[in-house]
A and B are shown apart, each in its own frame.
Chain A
Amino acid sequence: MRYGGEGRTRLLLIILIVTALFLITLDLRGVAVLDGARQGTQTILSPFQKAGNFILSPVKNFVTDITHLGRTRNQIEKLRADNAKLKADLLNRKNADAQLKQLESILDLAGTAGYKVVNTRVISQGSSQSFSQTVTIDSGSNAGIKKNMTVLSQSGIAGVVKDVYPTSALVMLASDPAFKIGVRIAGTQQIGILSGRGSRSGALQLLDNLTTVKVGDVLLARGSVANRPFVPGVPVGYVTAVDNSAGEIAQTGTVRYYTNFGGLGVLAVVVAASSSNPGDALVPPKPVPTPIPTVTVYVTPSPSPTK
């Protein structure tokens, strides 16, 4: 059925569309007012995100067992309530322990390389509706974080600071399709460019057609001018597949990131790099295979078989 007041509605529609196009043009031209509006929105949202993160931490670990709140009429009810409270405490403790473990690993990594870091917690995952991979952390410019700083996880590179607000910052994860980082292969020092693919694997493109890469090679960040956006020496991932197509100018490959982007709880932003390049010092140790015990059974046949 056709809508009655079409003339007025069409005029309104045109005005709204023109306004949207006007906004896009202003933003693409870098008008600061729009950045300010986004910053203001994030400043307002940040306390809500922190509260949401605090409240939902146990739920986020897919374990919820909050029952019997306030009804303690008899001893059994009281014990059940105590039990639920202890379970909730245990969940919070497990969550805190997991975050502590991540933090320890991050500090080990940063300490070995001599990075000065700001530790932060992830307070929100970015919306996947925009096909981007981002997280929000609970520290911002007030803690000395600036745009284009390297972000570390417990295992290696996590991403780069994309936007900074007073009390929070947006981190573009290394898995984001727009993410690109210059890498070198530990040991051989061959260089290449690694791009995100939207998942835990990345695409490696070597720059030199005379060099080769093999499965298992470890990739480290090459570093940038003035250490921004990337400090050198950070473990990035390892090569899982190599493409030797004849048509390729240089070798390409698939890389698995060390960082598990699905379980980020604590991150560290590198606010100052060490004066010297850590080289290959941060290459993670290869996993030691667990020895499998061998059991040998000797069977001696009986001298006279029984009937």
Chain B
Amino acid sequence: MLTRQISLSAPIFLSIFIFQEAVVNQFKLPGGGFSLFGIFALVWAVISTPEIAALTGFGAGILMDMSHSAGGPVGQWTLIMIIVCYGVSYLGYGDGNINGNPIGVVFFVVVANLITGLLFLASSALLGVTTGSFGQILLTLLGNSLWTLVLTPIVLPVFSFMHHLVFETRSVL
């Protein structure tokens, strides 16, 4: 069962990753722009079981690490995404007010996105990766969060529908 689900999820993740790299990254948007792939992975994790969420984080993190624009060493995004995806899924699992409610999902995704950025900064400091001035970091974190807040409600129905197609365990948000 799990193998079938992973084999169905993998092409979806790959497609969105390629879309992110080939299309979204073409634009230099104000406030640092957004990561559609990051939003997708977090939405997927929020509406999944913790087990699937951890695997989602691992797969998404590996792809993010493979991106040539990933600043740190291979494995850094993997580690962060595993922790964040598992965390949001564990906290919201079984609570219909969180993962069964679109507003709850959006809130979780925005907060998780912010935590992802903060974890990246913390791990970068430990690994010796330069991340820029305080003002620039603040601007990027705020910009990313705002973009995520705006975009997540728009893409949530699509991502939720994809999740429903793969897992067939829940109603579409």
Q: Is the CB of A197 within 8 A of B136?
A: yes
Q: Is the CB of B35 within 8 A of A129?
A: yes
Q: Is the CB of B144 within 8 A of A129?
A: yes
Q: Is the CB of B25 within 8 A of A125?
A: yes
| A3-B50, A5-B51 known; A23-B67 Cβ under 8 A | no
Cβ distance A213 to chain B, nearest Cβ, rounded Å: 21
* Cα(A26)–Cα(B32), bound, Å: 30
* Cα(A219)–Cα(B7), bound, Å: 55
B94 proximity list for chain A (CB < 8 A):
1-3
B132 proximity list for chain A (CB < 8 A):
131, 177, 197-198
A2 proximity list for chain B (CB < 8 A):
94
- Asked whether A87 is an interface residue with its Cβ less than 8 Å from the other chain, the reply is no
- Asked whether A142 is an interface residue with its Cβ less than 8 Å from the other chain, the reply is no
- Asked whether B95 is an interface residue with its Cβ less than 8 Å from the other chain, the reply is yes
Q: Is the CB of A20 within 8 A of B82?
A: yes
Residue of A whose beta carbon sits closest to that of B66: A41
* Cα(A25)–Cα(B121), bound, Å: 18
Q: Is the CB of A127 within 8 A of B35?
A: yes
> Number of contacting residues on B, CB 8 A?
57
- Asked whether A24 is an interface residue with its Cβ less than 8 Å from the other chain, the reply is yes
B70 proximity list for chain A (CB < 8 A):
127, 130
Q: Is the CB of A24 within 8 A of B73?
A: yes
Cβ distance B46 to chain A, nearest Cβ, rounded Å: 14
Q: Number of contacts between A and B (CB, 8 Å)?
A: 165
- Contact residues of B between 8 and 57, Cβ < 8 Å to A: 18, 20-23, 25-28, 32-33, 35, 38, 49-51, 54-55, 57
Cross-chain contact of A23 among B50, B78, B133 (Cβ < 8 A): B78
- Contact residues of B between 61 and 92, Cβ < 8 Å to A: 61, 65-76, 78-79, 82-83, 86, 90
* Cα(A55)–Cα(B18), bound, Å: 15
* Cα(A251)–Cα(B111), bound, Å: 42
- Asked whether B108 is an interface residue with its Cβ less than 8 Å from the other chain, the reply is no
- Interface segment out of the listed B123-131, B154-162, B165-173: B123-131
Cross-chain contact of B71 among A12, A19, A42, A130 (Cβ < 8 A): A130
* Cα(A197)–Cα(B139), bound, Å: 13
A37 proximity list for chain B (CB < 8 A):
66, 74
Residue of B whose beta carbon sits closest to that of A1: B94
B95 proximity list for chain A (CB < 8 A):
1
B73 proximity list for chain A (CB < 8 A):
23-24, 27-28
- Asked whether A284 is an interface residue with its Cβ less than 8 Å from the other chain, the reply is no
Cross-chain contact of B28 among A125, A129, A136 (Cβ < 8 A): A125
Cross-chain contact of A45 among B22, B130, B143 (Cβ < 8 A): B22
A45 proximity list for chain B (CB < 8 A):
18, 21-22, 68
| A3-B93, A9-B51, A16-B58 known; A53-B26 Cβ under 8 A | yes
Cβ distance A25 to chain B, nearest Cβ, rounded Å: 8
Cross-chain contact of B90 among A3, A49, A178, A197 (Cβ < 8 A): A3
Q: Is the CB of A128 within 8 A of B68?
A: no
Residue of B whose beta carbon sits closest to that of A8: B51
* Cα(A21)–Cα(B80), bound, Å: 10
| A8-B51, A20-B78, A125-B28 known; A13-B86 Cβ under 8 A | yes
Q: Is the CB of B54 within 8 A of A12?
A: yes
| A127-B70, A177-B132 known; A27-B33 Cβ under 8 A | no
- Asked whether B115 is an interface residue with its Cβ less than 8 Å from the other chain, the reply is no
- Asked whether B104 is an interface residue with its Cβ less than 8 Å from the other chain, the reply is no
| A17-B79, A56-B23 known; A128-B32 Cβ under 8 A | yes
Q: Is the CB of B67 within 8 A of A127?
A: yes
Q: Is the CB of B93 within 8 A of A13?
A: no
B124 proximity list for chain A (CB < 8 A):
131
B131 proximity list for chain A (CB < 8 A):
131-132, 177
* Cα(A178)–Cα(B127), bound, Å: 14
Nearest 4 Cβ contacts at the A-B interface: A23-B75, A1-B94, A126-B69, A198-B136
Given A17-B79, A37-B74, A41-B67, 10 additional A-B pairs, CB 8 A:
A9-B51, A25-B75, A45-B18, A51-B22, A126-B69, A128-B143, A131-B137, A132-B71, A198-B132, A198-B133
